[in-house]
Amino acid sequence: MEIVVLADHVSVGELVGSTIADLVQNDPATVLGLATGSSPLPVYQDLIDRVERGGLDLSGATAFTLDEYVGLPPSHPEAYRSFIRRVFTLAAGISDDRLKTPEVAGSDIVGSCARYEQAIRSAGGVALQLLGIGSDGHIGFNEPTSSLGSRTRMKTLTDQTLADNARFFDDDIDQVPNHVVTQGIGTILEARHVVLVAAGQSKADAVAAAVEGPLTAMVPASALQLHPHATIVLDDAAASKLTLLDYYRSAYARKPEWQGI
Ligand code: GLP
């Protein structure tokens, strides 16, 4: 696991954006794993800027999102498919047919989850999975006690996540859907490179638990400790509770540039 600590959220976006841009330049048909939430927004902005400057073409890439609310009409602005189109894929030139999101309509959620897993496999697997982290340590919508081997399935949100996400629903917790479909932790761990981004003091405890705490289903992001290529990119505030902070900083400063992240 590599921990990269940068001065601010914009720098986090630039570093991860350049990594994704390099990946797509090497393979225009790259399969990307996208995350919602506010943490990846500077990454998306960096990529959109590159596309608008003419330095990057994302039109051949395919994108799979991590999760989706159950019970929101697809047209709802906070449905994750709407969100990711609005903040990223439309401006980045990734067409709707290349944007894959979990299907949550209809009664066959179990079948649609299995089909989502199959679609990821058929596409050749995810090359780079972008992740945020919930304040309770969740990734995707894998709440504490999610199986570390879990696959795409329906989950029920914790009260903490409902409260955290109420800000997207007029601060009204009763409007936040209780149920979601999310890629499982086992699904996420199959991506070839996993990049978790976090910014702000509110993420410091979850980041410290995920990076330096024990591997435990109580902190789903700690499962990244099992991944052979996991990169955690933080701003100063999100990194502030890490015990080995000086080591992470000096290791990154001494890293040969050719290694990338
Ligand atoms: C939601 C998403 C997660 C995201 C988390 C944190 O729960 N399902 O993928 O990481 O929010 O969101 P934010 O980055 O806005 O703090």
pLDDT digits (tens, 9 = 90+) for 15-65: 999 999 999 999 999 999 999 999 999 999 999 999 999 999 999 999 999
Calpha distance 63→43 (Å, rounded) = 14
Q: Quick one: average pLDDT of 241-245?
A: 98
Distance from residue 198's CA to the centre of ligand 1 (Å): 10
The predicted structure's pLDDT at residue 257: 87
Q: Which DSSP category does 175 fall into?
A: G
The predicted structure's pLDDT at residue 106: 87
| 136 tagged catalytic | yes
- Asked whether 100 and 116 are in contact (CB, 8 A), the reply is yes
Average pLDDT, the chain: 97
Q: Quick one: average pLDDT of 112-133?
A: 98
| 143 tagged catalytic | yes
Report residue 109 as tokens: 């959620």
Going by CA atoms, what residue is nearest to atom 6 of ligand 1?
134
User: Model-level pTM?
Assistant: 0.97
The predicted structure's pLDDT at residue 63: 98
The predicted structure's pLDDT at residue 130: 98
Calpha distance 215→55 (Å, rounded) = 40
Distance from residue 254's CA to the centre of ligand 1 (Å): 31
Choosing from 46, 103, 143, 164, which is the catalytic residue?
A: 143
Choosing from 9, 138, 193, 227, which is the catalytic residue?
A: 138
| More confidently predicted of 257 and 43 | 43
Ligand 1 environment, Cβ below 6 A: 35-39, 66-67, 132-134, 140-141, 161
The predicted structure's pLDDT at residue 107: 87
Q: For residue 74, what pLDDT band results from cuts at 50, 70 and 90?
A: confident
Q: Quick one: average pLDDT of 142-166?
A: 97
- Nearest-atom number in ligand 1 for the CA of 35 is 9
Distance from residue 40's CA to the centre of ligand 1 (Å): 9
Going by CA atoms, what residue is nearest to atom 9 of ligand 1?
140
Q: Is 29 helix (H, G, I), strand (E, B) or coil?
A: coil
- pLDDT greater than 90 at residue 141: yes
- pLDDT greater than 90 at residue 196: yes
Strand arrangement of the beta sheet that strand 230-235 belongs to: 2-6, 230-235, 193-198, 128-131, 31-34, 62-65, 99-100
Strand arrangement of the beta sheet that strand 179-182 belongs to: 67-69, 179-182, 153-156
- Asked whether 224 and 196 are in contact (CB, 8 A), the reply is yes
